[in-house]
Amino acid sequence: METNISLDQLAMRGRPQGEPLVQQNWEDLLFLHWPVNPAILRPFVPEPLELDTFQDEAWIGITPFRVTGLRLSGLPAVPGLNSFEELNVRTCVHHKGIPGIGFLS
C-alpha cells in the first residue's frame, strides 16, 4: 500500500505551548536506511499506525547517536547521568493521515 503525502502534511508543525521539561543535545548522529518488505515490518508496528511506503517498500532506519547535557530544565545536570549513547531503530508511519516516526527500539 503506497501512501500519498500532500505538501500540507509535510508543513512545519507549531511548537507546543509552554517550556520544555528536559534539555539535551544530540551529537554524532548517523542515519542509515534500508528498504524492507512492508509485510515483514507490519507485525512490529502498532495497528493504529499505517506504514509509510515509497515504491511499495517500507523503510527501516538505524540511528546511533550520543546524548549530552541531559537535564531537567532549570536544574543542573547530574554527573554520570547526563550523557550516554543511544541506538534508535525506526520507520516512517502515518496516524490518521499525519506523518511521523514509529520507534521499534
Angle at 37 between CA 32 and CA 41, to 5 degrees: 75
- Taking the C-alpha atoms of residue 49 and residue 85, their distance in angstroms, rounded to an integer, is 28
Percent residues over pLDDT 90 in the chain? 76
pLDDT of 15 higher than 80: no
Confidence band, pLDDT 50/70/90 cuts, at residue 3: low
pTM for this predicted structure? 0.72
The residues spanned by each domain of the chain are: 36-105
Residue with cell 508496528: 45
Mean pLDDT (whole number) for 91-98: 91
